[in-house]
Amino acid sequence: MQKNDITEMVISSLRQILSEQDPEFLTDGLNESTRLFGRGSLLDSLAMVSLIVDIEQRLKEKLNIHITIADERAMSMERSPFRTVESLADYIQLLVEEKSKDV
């Protein structure tokens, strides 16, 4: 899976979560550097969970890839993978690659 595809999936999922929260929210400006979680970010912890669950579900249904994005490892990383769209996409790519090696 290409990094671009993953980034697009994250943004698409993010767009959905944000518009569910507030239908008036303008989601055009979302890009790789959009801050997700942390200071000055778009999401609170519940929305972050929704985003992750949604991405996991998309991977499972569309590509039959089963990964757990939020686990102890992700939580204990020095630089949180949940900072920005890009860092999350990077982390997902890592998980997907690891998964494909397992098989």
Partner 1 sequence: MIDFLLKKFEENKGEEAIIFKETPYKYAWLLERISFWHHRIVAHQIKPGAVATLEADFSPDSVALLLALVEHRCVVVPLSQAVVSKKEEFIEIAQSEIIFRFSDARLEIKETGRKADHEYYLSLRAKNHPGLVLFSSGSTGKSKAAVHDLSKLLEKFKVPRYRWRTIAFLLFDHIGGINTMFYTLSNAGCLIVADDRTPDGVLRSIEKFRAQLLPTSPTFINLMILSEAYKRYDLSSLKIITYGTEPMPETTLRRINTILPHVTLQQTYGLTELGILRSKSKSTDSLWVRVGGEGVDTKVVDGVLWIRANSAMIGYLNADNPFDEEGWFCTGDLVDYEDGYTRILGRKSELINVGGQKVHPTEVENVILMMEGVEDVSVKGEPNPIVGQIVVAQVKISTEETVAEFKKRLAAFCKDKLARYKIPQKVSIVSSLSYGERFKKMR
| 75 near partner 1 (CB under 8 A) | yes
Provide the token pair at 57: 């579900």
| 45 near partner 1 (CB under 8 A) | yes
| 70 near partner 1 (CB under 8 A) | yes
CA separation, residue 38 to residues 70, 100, 101 (Å): 15, 31, 32
> At how many degrees (to 10) do helices 3-21 and 45-63 cross?
130
- Kind plus residue range of the DSSP H or E element containing 60: helix 45-63
User: Which residues does residue 84 pair with via DSSP β-bridges, in sequence order?
Assistant: 35
Q: Which is nearer to partner 1, 52 or 59 (CB)?
A: 52
Q: Which is nearer to partner 1, 4 or 19 (CB)?
A: 19
Choice from 8, 46, 97, 98 touching partner 1 (CB under 8 A): 46
| Min separation Cβ 75 and partner 1, Å | 5
- Max CA distance (Å), the chain: 43
| 77 near partner 1 (CB under 8 A) | no
| Interface ranges with partner 1 (CB under 8 A) | 20, 45-46, 48-50, 52-53, 57, 61, 70-72, 74-75
